[in-house]
Amino acid sequence: MIEMENWLKMRAQLSGEKTALYFGEKSYTFQDVYLMAEKCAERLTELGGGKGDFIALLGRNDVETYVAIHALELIGASTVFLNPRLSPLEMQFQLEDSGAKFLMYHSDFTTAVSRLVVPATSFEELEALSGAVSKKNRNRTDRYCLGHVYFWDDGEAERSLANIWQSLFQRDGIYA
């Protein structure tokens, strides 16, 4: 387990106006990403997620998934990344093996999720929640685990994961 200070919060404070993410024709600053992740974190807390929980994520290579990863970090949860090319049986094994409290997913994967035995919330359903949980009452931390990665793959997930790690450790002009 790798622990570090809350990187995104720090980056938003130190260089919030700098670009954190390019996606398609749109770019997002560190402050943009932090504010989106904070909103998502409040909604995850409303669902019962918090420090030390394992929460599964079945997403696409998109802004929603990127923000969800940071939101999970903000509440101190560990991310269990699921590969959409796995069979439902393999995903179910990972969910059970990790002890995932619930699953967040992109609606493109609704059919696969319907075959799983786990509480699940789509990004769209998550967005509809009020997020009215008080920050003071949130079970969060300034230190967090970056994640637990479970996958069987042909290498594509490894390349995607490398991109995530690179964005997490980006420093002014220096890349991990």
Residue 9 pLDDT grade (very low, low, confident, very high; cuts 50, 70, 90): confident
For the chain, the average pLDDT equals: 80
Q: What pLDDT sits at residue 8?
A: 85
Which residue in this structure is represented by tokens 């796995």?
86
Question: Does the pLDDT of residue 155 top 80, yes or no?
Answer: no
Question: Does the pLDDT of residue 174 top 90, yes or no?
Answer: no
102 with 46: CB under 8 angstroms?
Answer: no
Comparison of pLDDT for 72 and 139, the residue scoring more: 72
C-alpha neighbours within 13 Å on the C-beta side of residue 145: 14
Question: Per CATH, the architecture of 3-168 is what?
Answer: 3-Layer(aba) Sandwich (3.40)
C-alpha dihedral sign at 82, 87, 91, 97: negative
What does the domain layout of the chain look like in residue ranges? Answer: 3-168
The model carries a pTM of: 0.73
